[in-house]
């Protein structure tokens, strides 16, 4: 049975939540780096018809998408509701759609143009980052976006790994490293910067392989991305990751593994911004260590992301670090089956 069929079967058993079509799925404020300095961010997840691909093993965003495609007016109301949330004098706007902002099937060309023009006219907005799959990154789409926005624009692409086999057989992502490279080159020619998301520990690989996959992926992605963000896999509802987690066949990554990846990545690529937001850290369904150090390690990861100073990690220690080292060693013998929850 193909991985796509397995994911589709799981999807068919889930319910799509109802959200009013004129409200975004989620909006929150946070911090990011702009030219080496921390700046506020406003992150918006627009409620659209959802990702056209919709087949990745770890992704539960589909259940947040709209039951019927929202109209232009509904999407603009979502936009206005989101923009009213940030009171800072300057900030970056991050646009997610639980899919691709540049896909006309999710956000029509006119709607996208109007949103970007309004962001362009808002002097508080210093930069806009929009998430998209690489197939929607074209010269035409980017030049339209840039002329509407008239300020710094970045595309964020969920590359997940530079290893085509892991991306296909563990994530079922549906594109190749060369598709990402092409998108990055098109972006570069249009003056658009690129952020790559990588995924630490998809299903079917051991903790140790997951760590080395991330370090190699950072090395491979550096020429094509100014910022690399490491997503620490968490267990989302209605996914293959969740099915395996419930059977005891999957454990989210250790926070120590994330520390290792960030430290080694920064050493390999000192001029690239390398970051991670440890979403759900410390819970069984999120990245976690084995006991009391989760809060401190997650905080160090957040601090590193804002300062790029890997020295922050030198202050961390806990007795579970030795256990983690053993897990990394022994999981090679269990072919990735978890030995510690
Ligand atoms: S491409 Fe992105 S939004 Fe679409 S299924 Fe995969 S992870 Fe989810
Ligand atoms: Zn610990």
Structure token digits, residue 70: 């929202």
3-state secondary structure of 40: strand
Q: What is the pLDDT of residues 112-125, one digit of tens each?
A: 999 999 999 999 99
The residue written with tokens 């603009």 in the block is 76
Q: Which residues of the chain have pLDDT under 50?
A: none
Domain boundaries, the chain: 3-330
The dihedral of CA 19, 102, 35, 88: what is its sign? negative
Best mutation site among 56, 167, 231 for ligand 1, i.e. most ligand atoms within 8 A of its Cβ?
A: 56
Q: What's the confidence (pLDDT) of residue 100?
A: 96
Pick the CATH number of 3-330 from 3.20.20.70, 3.30.70.60, 3.20.20.300, 3.30.365.10: 3.20.20.70
Q: What's the confidence (pLDDT) of residue 63?
A: 85
Q: What's the confidence (pLDDT) of residue 340?
A: 76
d(CA 245, CA 231): 18
Residues with CB under 5 A from ligand 2 (ion): 289, 291, 293, 318, 320
∠ CA 306-309-314, nearest 5°, is: 125
Closest ligand 1 atom to the C-alpha of 173? 6
Spatial contact of 204 and 170, defined as CB atoms under 8 Å apart: yes
Q: Which positions ≥6 away from 37 have C-beta within 8 Å?
A: none
Chain-centre distance of CA 148, in angstroms? 25
Ligand 1 — pocket residues by CB below 6 A?
Answer: 51, 53-56, 59, 61, 98-99, 133, 158
Chain-centre distance of CA 188, in angstroms? 21
Q: What's the confidence (pLDDT) of residue 23?
A: 93
Q: What's the confidence (pLDDT) of residue 145?
A: 98
Q: What's the confidence (pLDDT) of residue 68?
A: 86
Structure token digits, residue 48: 């659209």
Q: What's the confidence (pLDDT) of residue 120?
A: 98
Which residue has its alpha carbon closest to ligand 1 atom 8?
Answer: 59
Structure token digits, residue 40: 């506020």
């Amino acid at each position: 049975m193909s991985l796509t069929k397995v994911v589709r079967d799981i999807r068919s058993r889930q319910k799509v939540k109802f959200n009013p079509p004129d409200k975004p799925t989620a909006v929150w404020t946070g911090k990011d780096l702009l030219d080496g300095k921390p700046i506020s961010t406003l992150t918006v997840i627009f409620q659209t018809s959802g990702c056209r691909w919709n087949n990745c093993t770890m992704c539960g965003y589909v259940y947040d998408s709209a039951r019927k495609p929202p109209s232009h007016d509904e999407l603009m109301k979502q936009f206005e509701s989101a923009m009213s949330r940030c009171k800072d004098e300057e900030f970056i706007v991050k646009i997610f759609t639980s899919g691709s902002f540049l896909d006309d099937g999710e956000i029509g060309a006119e709607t996208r143009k109007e949103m970007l023009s309004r962001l362009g006219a808002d002097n508080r907005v210093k930069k806009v980052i929009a998430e998209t799959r690489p197939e929607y990154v074209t010269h035409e789409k980017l030049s339209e976006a840039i002329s509407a926005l008239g300020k710094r624009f970045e595309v964020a692409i969920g590359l997940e790994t530079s290893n085509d086999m892991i991306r296909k057989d563990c994530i079922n992502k549906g594109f190749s490293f060369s598709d990402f490279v092409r998108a990055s080159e098109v972006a570069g020619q249009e003056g658009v910067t690129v952020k790559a998301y990588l995924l630490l520990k998809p299903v079917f690989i051991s903790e140790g392989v997951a760590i080395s996959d991330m370090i190699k992926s950072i090395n491979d992605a550096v020429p094509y991305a100014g910022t690399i963000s490491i997503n620490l896999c968490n267990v989302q509802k209605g996914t293959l990751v969740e099915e395996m987690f419930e059977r005891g066949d999957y454990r989210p990554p250790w926070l120590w593994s994330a520390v290792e990846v960030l430290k080694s990545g920064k050493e390999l690529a000192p001029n690239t911004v390398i970051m991670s937001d440890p979403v759900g850290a410390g819970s069984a369904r999120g990245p976690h260590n084995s006991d009391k150090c989760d809060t401190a390690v997650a905080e160090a990861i957040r601090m590193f992301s804002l300062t790029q100073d890997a020295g922050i990690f030198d202050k961390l220690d806990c007795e579970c670090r030795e256990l983690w080292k053993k897990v990394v060693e022994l999981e090679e013998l269990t072919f990735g089956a978890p030995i510690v929850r």
